[in-house]
Amino acid sequence: MRLVRLVPLALLAMACRPTPAPTTSVPAPRPPVSPPTVATFERGITPRQAPPLPPVPLVEGPLAPKVVYPPANERIGVRDSNFIFGSVGNGHATLTINGAKVPVAPNGTFLAFLPVPPPSAPHYELVARTTTDSARLVVPVRVPPARVVFASTGPLIVDSGTVSPRGVSEALRDDEPVRVSVRAAPGASAWVVTSSGQHIPLVRTDAEHLATDVPARDLRATATMFVERDRDTVHFALSRIASVDAEPRYATLVQTGGGPDTDAAIIGRSTPHGTYKWMLLPGTVVQVTGRDADNARVRLDSQLETWIDSVNVRELPAGVPSPRRVIGAMALVPSPEWVDIVMPVSSPPPFLLEQDMTHLTLTMYGTQATPDLIKYLKNDSLVRVINWVPVATDRVRFDIELTQQPYGYLAMYDSTQDAFILRLRRPPVVSLAHPLQGLTITVDPGHPPGGAIGPTALTEAQGVLWIAEKLKTILEQRGAHVVMTRTTMNAVDLHERSVIARRANSYALISVHLNAFGEGVDPFPNVGTSTLFFHPQTEPLARLVQAGMMREMGLRDLGIHYQNIAIGRTTWMPSLICEGAFLMVPEQENAVKTPEFQERYATGIADGLEAYFRTFAK
């Protein structure tokens, strides 16, 4: 067997207090509130030509090249092109980076999108010049190795970093397929030899990749992948796949940090490390059916499994029986600010709540229902009717028809009465002339920790604090009561920000941010203003806040986006993130430093809030 050259592939990456119990006083039913329409949006925010950004001042200091991003010895996670930004100290200077000409703003800052340096010369070389001076700076960086180029002749080359499964920890059922794959030169063949001596060939899926599915049972003990072309052969040991207990093993979902149960949620995902979909209650008992590194797969009912962070899964002793959840007689209990749907059940059920304009669908997994009575107390008008449908032996769906669009909700489990409670919030009572009067709004200056940074090293945490303070002043001038999640540069836990808003009983949570791109994205055609939301109840507010910011700032309209953001998980009120400008862009970083632009950013948000709450006025 001849010596075989292996090329590793580096896998790189960039780098609450319980809700009070319902009171007994109940107001007279109010007429339905119609959801905002497109015409309402058009009336709420009148378009106009926004003034230009504040001019960038001229700086004529000594040449002092400085790179803010990427910092020295930073690992670059892309192979082709990436951005670099910083300052040179003089707005009259010319600048080249690795020989490419880069424009310099009047204040001496720059932003460029350039090829990533090659592995043979992993650095950026900056040369700045004026008519009387010059300066040079070399910034070393770590870059990915050159992509393996395969040849049809010569020694066999195998991209060892693509061998899978390798170096992972998994626990799966015997019959579950495990993808075995590798990237190798054309003409190569590959196969797996199991501990029992079974040979399983890999199939070429394209010019460079071979793969097949192997049952987990065949990877319990040591298995080896062989790759061969002509007289060259190389082999790799594959990861062992652990077995899942033959007998059902149950676990309790637990919260690892943050506030009390009312403010806690265990995130469920459809794939390991994927986008979150389920927000389950601490104390929910589920069956563990698999593991993938630091994720545990759990069964919600006989037809559905989901993935949970392993730290949130506490296994119960062997032999603990499965939970038996049966929902009996239900009741709607109204209060001045909400209506509770009370569902007696022995333990917290896994559930999913889906929203429509005037409709909620509550699906409960691993649960049965036999509600012989649903009491609509006080003849309250918010909930018109609840229909229940057993869609499977261990799954039940509740269709909840409302008289108006859902404003907010909380899902809770009350152990004192063994009941799952869905608390539906009423919209605020609003004055048409002064729509923010008396409303509590939580303003969240995003970060720290983390966040974007600009060419002069202005941090997002500092910039948004200035803007949030101006937003607070404007909202208070319009009659609102404002709660700030932070007023200093001290870090605030991300989970705690939503808790602060819920405890204050706020009617909106606005998180103020400044944007940045991930590695490899050309910033020049994509910078602008956007608004991010998660729950459907926030979409009308997001549209109006986006329109308000566009009217005041006039940057490129990047629109509103559904996005899996932690702030957006807040359910008791509409909650969103404003991404008003890109801090990495010299002109926009400079604007963020000016009181004029800070005021415009804050005014745009306030106008959007005012237009939104005006839609609830009688």
pLDDT in tens, 514-540: 999 999 999 999 899 999 999 999 999
What CATH code would you report for 430-614? 3.40.630.40
261 — pLDDT class (breaks 50, 70, 90) = low
Q: Determine the Cα–Cα distance for residues 570 and 565; give it in Å rounded to an integer.
A: 10
Task: Say if CB 347 and CB 330 are below 8 A apart.
Answer: no
Q: What is the pLDDT of residues 36-64, one digit of tens each?
A: 444 444 457 888 889 999 999 999 999 99
Distances (CA, A) of 289 to 43, 46, 132: 53, 55, 71
Distances (CA, A) of 98 to 74, 94, 137, 142: 17, 13, 11, 16
CATH of region 66-140, choose from 2.60.98, 2.30.30, 2.60.40, 3.90.550 = 2.60.40
- DSSP character at residue 292: E
Q: Do you know the residue count of the chain?
A: 618
Using only the alpha carbons of the chain, give its radius of gyration.
Answer: 29
The label of the residue with tokens 């057993």 reads 390
Tell me the domain boundaries of the chain: 66-140, 157-243, 249-315, 325-425, 430-614
Interior angle at CA 308, CA 16 and CA 537, nearest 5 = 55
Mean pLDDT of 539-556: 96
Please check the confidence at residue 407 and state whether its pLDDT lies above 90: yes
Q: List, in order, residues 6 or more apart from 416 with CB less than 8 Å away.
A: none
Mean pLDDT of 422-450: 96
Q: Counting beta carbons within 10 angstroms of the beta carbon of residue 42, is it exposed (0 to 12), middle (13 to 18) or buried (19 or more)?
A: exposed
Phi, psi dihedral angles at 529 (to 5 degrees): -115, 135
Q: What is the pLDDT of residue 311?
A: 94
Q: Determine the Cα–Cα distance for residues 509 and 515; give it in Å rounded to an integer.
A: 19
Mean pLDDT of the chain: 90
Which residues pair with residue 23 across a beta bridge?
none
Interior angle at CA 398, CA 396 and CA 404, nearest 5 = 165
Please check the confidence at residue 24 and state whether its pLDDT lies above 70: no
Domains 325-425 and 430-614 share a fold: no
List the structure tokens of 393. 């032996």
Q: What is the pLDDT of residue 601?
A: 98
Q: Which helix (H) or strand (E) holds 607?
A: helix 595-614
Three-state DSSP state, 425:
strand
List the structure tokens of 217. 């049972």
393 — pLDDT class (breaks 50, 70, 90) = very high
Please check the confidence at residue 31 and state whether its pLDDT lies above 70: no
- Tell which phi-psi region holds residue 99, choosing left (phi > 0), alpha (psi between -120 and 50) or beta: left
Task: Say if CB 405 and CB 35 are below 8 A apart.
Answer: yes
The label of the residue with tokens 């040079």 reads 136
Q: What is the pLDDT of residues 477-503, one digit of tens each?
A: 999 999 999 999 999 998 899 999 999
Q: Determine the Cα–Cα distance for residues 396 and 328; give it in Å rounded to an integer.
A: 12
Separation of first and last alpha carbons in the chain:
85
CATH of region 157-243, choose from 3.40.50.740, 3.40.640.10, 2.60.40.10, 1.10.274.10 = 2.60.40.10
CATH of region 249-315, choose from 3.30.1310.10, 2.30.30.40, 3.40.140.10, 3.40.30.10 = 2.30.30.40
Phi, psi dihedral angles at 26 (to 5 degrees): -130, 125
Q: What is the pLDDT of residue 258?
A: 53
Q: Determine the Cα–Cα distance for residues 261 and 413; give it in Å rounded to an integer.
A: 8
pTM of the model: 0.88
Please check the confidence at residue 609 and state whether its pLDDT lies above 60: yes
Mean pLDDT of 303-315: 95
263 — pLDDT class (breaks 50, 70, 90) = confident
Mean pLDDT of 310-336: 94
291 — pLDDT class (breaks 50, 70, 90) = very high
Q: What is the pLDDT of residue 38?
A: 40
Mean pLDDT of 182-203: 94
| Beta-carbon count within 10 A of 367 CB | 25
Q: Determine the Cα–Cα distance for residues 616 and 618; give it in Å rounded to an integer.
A: 6
Q: What is the pLDDT of residue 358?
A: 86
Please check the confidence at residue 342 and state whether its pLDDT lies above 70: yes
551 — pLDDT class (breaks 50, 70, 90) = very high
Per CATH, is 325-425 categorized as 3.40.50.720?
Answer: no
The label of the residue with tokens 């009259």 reads 92
Rounded (10°) angle between helices 595-614 and 460-477: 50
Mean pLDDT of 342-371: 95
Mean pLDDT of 377-394: 91
Q: What is the pLDDT of residues 64-100, one digit of tens each?
A: 999 999 999 999 999 999 999 999 999 999 999 999 9
Task: Say if CB 308 and CB 267 are below 8 A apart.
Answer: yes
Q: Determine the Cα–Cα distance for residues 387 and 212; give it in Å rounded to an integer.
A: 46
